[in-house]
Amino acid sequence: MTMTSSVPYLLRAINEWILDNGFTPYLILDPTVEDTCVPMEYVKDGQIVLNISASAIRGLVIGDDHIAFSGRFGGVPHEIYAPMDAVMGIVAKENGEGMWFPREESQPEPPPERIKRRPGPPDLKVIK
C-alpha cells in the first residue's frame, strides 16, 4: 500500500521551525507545474522565491495537496496557489537552513532488469 506524500507535513514543520527561531521562511516554487498561480514577472531561473512570513502574506493554507495565500508584489495584491508538486523547498532567508524536496520524475523509472543465469555450472576461473 502506498503512503501519502510527506511534503506537506515537512513543509508545515519546517515553516514552524524557521518561525520559532525568529527567521523568515522563504518558499521556493516551480511555476511551470500545472495549476500553479504566481506572478510570472517575478520568476527567475525557473523558480519563484516567496516570503511566507505572517508580516508578508495573509491567509496561509498549507493543505495536503496545495499551498495558498495572498501576497503583494510591487504593491499589487496576488492570490498565490501551488500544488504540492510545485514545492521545491523552504529555507530561512537569513542563513539558508531548511529543506529541499526531491523533484518527481514525469515518468517512473522502470525496474531494473533481472540478470538471467545461464543453465549449467558457473564459468568462473581462478586467476593467479
State how far Cα 49 lies from the chain centre. 12
CATH for 25-94, options being 1.10.1520.10, 3.40.190.150, 2.30.30.220, 3.30.70.360:
2.30.30.220
Q: What is the pTM of this model?
A: 0.78
Identify the DSSP state of 15: H
Q: How many CA atoms lie within 13 A of 42 on its CB side?
A: 16
Judge whether 80 and 50 are in contact, CB under 8 Å.
yes
Burial track 40-67 (b if 16+ CB lie within 10 A, e otherwise):
eeeeeeebbbbebeeeebeebebeeebb
Domain parsing of the chain, residue ranges: 25-94
pLDDT in single tens digits along all 128 residues of the chain: 888 889 999 999 999 999 999 999 999 999 999 999 999 999 999 999 999 999 999 999 999 999 999 999 989 999 999 999 999 999 999 999 999 998 765 444 445 555 455 566 655 566 76
